[in-house]
Amino acid sequence: MKFSNNMDKSTPPEPSADFFIGNIPVFGDCVLAPMTGFSDPPYRFLCRTFGSSLSYTVFINAMDVLDKWERTLPDMLFLPQERPFLIQLFDNDEDRILAAALKIQQLKPDAIDLNMGCSTRRVSGRGAGAGLLKDPAKIARIVHRLHTSLDIPITAKIRIGWDQDSRNYLDVTRAFEENGGAMIAVHARTREQAYSGQADWETIADIKRNLSIPVIGNGDVRSVEDIQGLKTETGCDGVMIGRAAVGNPWIFQRRRREDISREELSTVLSNHLAAMLTFYGNPKGLELFRKHLVRYLEPENISLHDRRTLLTQSSVSEFILNLAGLGYNLSLEDPEGTAGLSGLPF
């Protein structure tokens, strides 16, 4: 960023966008991946404060949008500070996808993201998620209908194919772009691989060479060094971080987990727990926070007994006391209620 040489003009220029989703600027090149069970509103917002440049919901079933709106709505809530905000949708039925997208558009997200990456059998086995990859022509029809019917951009998250013998990622991504797709995130594994084996970063580079829309790379980003490594090797516009970001929001600041002090960790634990209690209430907020705590404490030297005590504690006050006994001092205004710390608007 360049500043004026005129010392009387103290206001710096606006930073340049890293890339655009349609005409929506995105500032920053690291993105928290949508992960069921982890990328909920409290953790999304926490990661945004650390530098994640986009917010995705977990994947939303189009059938639930149409038939169970009130139950689905909490997963689609977002804060103004989370923009650009994307609601991720999945289904195998073209008409349902469009109907659900039109309904979701009323919530005024910045984009709707089509999930073509979920590898679980219950989703991909019925032709949704990664199951759509088998039919690029169907993808083209869906994206065309969404693009011509909605007022907001369409993005997508894909895998590179169904299995090793059908790595049709260029057919899929070209069909997506040619029918109005605005940005694509690529998990560089097949559906068959799930999360095993090695991500093939060269496929991301191949997609980037063949598309003009932004490409977000995903897969095997485990460290700060991997962020730049993926960008350098593929030329991608941004890097999506999944499992390596759980319990480690500092990765979005390009800081190593081993460099984080106990005091700073305690502050983040306080903020995250308070947000969970405020959003979910007590005891659900504490129950859901435990799986995050496991990942926060992985690098710490804590005995198996102490971990088990923390993960079975049902009282927030006792939970905080147990952490204090291990040297982690949390501060919550109302540890047994649902009033979180100030500055966390949930």
- What's the CATH code of the domain at 228? 3.20.20.70
Q: Is residue 103 part of a domain?
A: yes
pLDDT at 342 over 60: no
Regarding whether 150 and 50 lie in a shared domain, the answer is yes
Written as one string, the DSSP assignment of 186-232 is EESS-TTTTT-S---HHHHHHHHHH-SS-EEEES---SHHHHHHHHH
Q: What number is the average pLDDT over the span 43-50?
A: 96
For the chain, the farthest-separated pair of C-alpha atoms sits apart, in whole angstroms, at 63
Regarding whether 271 and 244 lie in a shared domain, the answer is no
| Active-site residue, selected from the candidate residues 30, 47, 118, 236 | 118
* 226-239 confidence digits (pLDDT tens): 999 999 999 999 99
Q: Is residue 333 part of a domain?
A: no
Q: Is residue 166 part of a domain?
A: yes
Regarding whether 234 and 172 lie in a shared domain, the answer is yes
Q: Is residue 331 part of a domain?
A: no
| Helix pair angle (136-149, 169-178), 10° resolution | 20
* 158-200 confidence digits (pLDDT tens): 999 999 899 999 999 999 999 999 999 999 999 999 899 899 9
Regarding whether 276 and 161 lie in a shared domain, the answer is no
Regarding whether 247 and 266 lie in a shared domain, the answer is no
pLDDT at 337 over 80: no
Q: What per-residue confidence (pLDDT) applies to 343?
A: 40
Using alpha carbons only, give the angle 173, 19, 91 rounded to the nearest 5 degrees.
40
- Residues of the chain above pLDDT 70, percent: 92
Are the beta carbons of 307 and 328 closer than 8 angstroms?
Answer: no
pLDDT at 9 over 60: no
pLDDT classification of 341: cutoffs 50, 70, 90: very low
Q: Is residue 345 part of a domain?
A: no
Q: What number is the average pLDDT over the span 301-321?
A: 92
Q: Is 181 left (phi over 0), alpha (psi -120 to 50) or beta?
A: beta
Q: What number is the average pLDDT over the span 51-56?
A: 97
Q: What per-residue confidence (pLDDT) applies to 15?
A: 79
| Mean per-residue pLDDT of the chain | 91
- Which of 227, 253, 279 is the last residue in one of the domains? 253
pLDDT classification of 14: cutoffs 50, 70, 90: low
pLDDT classification of 335: cutoffs 50, 70, 90: low
The single-letter code of the amino acid at 174 is R
In this structure, how many other beta carbons lie within 10 angstroms of the beta carbon of residue 13?
10
Regarding whether 219 and 113 lie in a shared domain, the answer is yes
* Predicted TM-score (pTM) of this structure: 0.90
Q: How many domains does the chain have?
A: 2
Within 8 A by CB and 6+ apart from 73, the residues are none
Q: What per-residue confidence (pLDDT) applies to 301?
A: 87
Q: What per-residue confidence (pLDDT) applies to 12?
A: 59
Regarding whether 274 and 222 lie in a shared domain, the answer is no
Residue 30 annotated to the active site:
no
Q: Residue 100's closest CA among 72, 119, 123?
A: 72
- Residues of the chain above pLDDT 90, percent: 86
Q: Is residue 208 part of a domain?
A: yes
Regarding whether 52 and 24 lie in a shared domain, the answer is yes
* 293-309 confidence digits (pLDDT tens): 999 999 998 999 999 99
Regarding whether 276 and 209 lie in a shared domain, the answer is no
Q: What number is the average pLDDT over the span 89-117?
A: 97
pLDDT at 55 over 70: yes
Regarding whether 272 and 244 lie in a shared domain, the answer is no
Q: Are strands 154-159 and 183-187 parallel, antiparallel or unpaired?
A: parallel
Most confident of 246-250, 303-307, 314-318: 246-250
Q: Is residue 3 part of a domain?
A: no
Residue 267 domain boundaries: 261-325
Q: Which helix (H) or strand (E) holds 316?
A: helix 316-325
Regarding whether 275 and 185 lie in a shared domain, the answer is no
pLDDT at 98 over 90: yes
Regarding whether 267 and 196 lie in a shared domain, the answer is no
Within 8 A by CB and 6+ apart from 171, the residues are 136
Report how far residue 61's alpha carbon sits from residue 88's, in angstroms, rounded to the nearest whole number: 9
Q: Is residue 246 part of a domain?
A: yes
